[in-house]
Chain A
Amino acid sequence: MRIFDPHIHMTSRTTDDYERMAAAGVQAVVEPAFWLGQPRTSVGSFTDYFDSLVGWEPFRAGQFGVRHHATVALNPKEANDPRCRPVLDVLPRYLEKDGVVAVGEIGYDSMTPEEDAAFAAQLALAVAHDLPALVHTPHRDKARGVERSLAVVAESGIEPGRVVLDHLNEVTVKLVRDTGCWLGFSIYPDTKMSPPRMVELLRTYGTERMLVNSAADWGRSDPLLTRATGEAMLLAGFTDDEVDQVLWRNPVEFYGQSGRLDLSDDDASEPTFAGNSILRGGG
């Protein structure tokens, strides 16, 4: 089983995790920029963090044979702090980096006017830099947050097929399914979504445009729940090909829209497809 985790915060994880992930079949990850638990108070701590997402963390991942890409943004929670808003001004230079495959996580936390402004400005940056967008949906007041996010996405003019709405569940999946946007699901030990519930959603809504991630971070989370979801799919009668679509080909297709996905072997000269180098052989 080859696995691409399209949303995981490896900065918060240990080398033990990288080892276990690689052994479980995780060959590639995307690490979205997000908040760190402790609020930041200056632009400098963001740029150091972004530099790590395009510098140290890909190097660390590479030592375990895991390909690491990132998404970069001012997250909705910290968009509310005036000391952090100038982060928007340094984003353009990061959005030109090879390893940056989308703008994210953007979206809503508490649905404030400040979050509205940062969300719209960063969707415009995604359009300007020809990148997809990763939209975090809020934990509180989620359904209304999803509806409002979809409205902002529609207004921005970004193509829906270049947007994923993440952290969806049984209620919010219905709001997104027919919009043309991608659907992200974060499989958690006991909150957002579980492997058996995810299998039910895949049965009901199919495997197209569905992204399954662990969203593992500094909170209670598990980087192997992508694998557990693949196994639950097989037990429920999904084919190997359907598992491969959900856990590998879908994230490759979504982030491949950046033209910057590099899944080639380190030392090999690989043909490219639409700017992306594709992993030899797969499987």
Chain B
Amino acid sequence: MTPNELRAALRGVPDPEWLTAAVRGVAAQPSAITRFFPAAGRRCGRAELPDLPGWTADEAARALLLANLPAEHAAQAEALYRTGDAAEKRAVLKALPLLPIGAAAVPLLHDALRTNDTRLVAAALGPYAGHLDAPTWRQAVLKCVFTGVPLAVVADLDARADRELAEMLAALAAERQAAGRSMPDDATALLDRLAASSQPHHREA
């Protein structure tokens, strides 16, 4: 995802002039973002963007505002998350990979993963979750399965899923089976893939 893709996908919003002015505004005066950021939902709408699957107009507009902050002000993202409503928090989480902040915003992921708001949990598991340590990431994936968040939201799922995660999923599956409850299909499929890949490989000659 790039700022240009966000901007292109936002072409059809109800009030494009507002968005253009807001983007210019935050670039010129970074503190103005505290005014524009909460208003983005009512100015740009909250519908899914047809050209940008997985993003709503308010999320994309807020991410675009953050991406247009001068680099030395990118840390404002943390304050906007801390003082944001649920939709603002979600937008910050989704924007993190666009910002020149390295791993500095990992505490925001920890905060989001502690909540029971499944939309926040999902938003915390995009590409920026590559900065999470393995135990935290595994717990987050397990939380998705536990709370019904589709595993499709987890970036790099297959590349990162390891034997330890397979054991945790298998234990959950056993508990569910003992209780007469089912596992989500996507979790069963992941478990199957992990089991297959842990079989001894047939080496090609």
- Chain A residues close to B by CB (< 8 Å): 51, 54-56, 58-59, 93, 96-99, 259-260, 262, 264, 267-270, 272, 275, 277
Known pairs A98-B42, A98-B85; A56 contacts B117 (CB<8 A): yes
User: Which B residues touch A267, using CB under 8 A?
Assistant: 48
* Given A59-B86, A98-B85, 17 other A-B residues pairs in contact with their CB atoms under 8 A: A51-B85, A54-B85, A55-B85, A56-B86, A59-B119, A96-B38, A96-B39, A97-B85, A98-B38, A98-B41, A98-B42, A98-B87, A99-B85, A259-B42, A269-B47, A270-B47, A275-B42
Task: Supply 25 A–B pairs (Cβ within 8 Å), ascending by A.
Answer: A51-B85, A54-B85, A54-B86, A55-B85, A55-B86, A55-B117, A93-B83, A96-B35, A96-B38, A96-B39, A98-B38, A98-B41, A98-B85, A99-B85, A260-B42, A262-B46, A267-B48, A269-B45, A269-B47, A269-B48, A272-B14, A272-B45, A275-B42, A277-B45, A277-B46
User: Which A residues touch B85, using CB under 8 A?
Assistant: 51, 54-55, 97-99
A interface footprint on B125-163 (CB within 8 Å = 1, 0 otherwise) = 000000000000000000000000000000000000000
A interface footprint on B78-107 (CB within 8 Å = 1, 0 otherwise) = 000001011101000000000000000000
A-B contact count (CB 8 A): 44
A59→B39 contact, CB < 8 A: no
B62 to chain A, nearest CB (A): 11
Considering the complex, which residues of chain B in the window 7-42 have a beta carbon less than 8 Å from any beta carbon of chain A? Answer: 14, 34-35, 38-39, 41-42
Interface of A is mostly: loop
Q: Output the nearest chain A residue to B50 by Cβ-Cβ distance.
A: A269
How distant is the Cα of A89 from the Cα of B47 in the complex, in angstroms?
A: 33
A99 to chain B, nearest CB (A): 6
- Number of residues of chain B lying within 8 A (CB) of chain A: 20
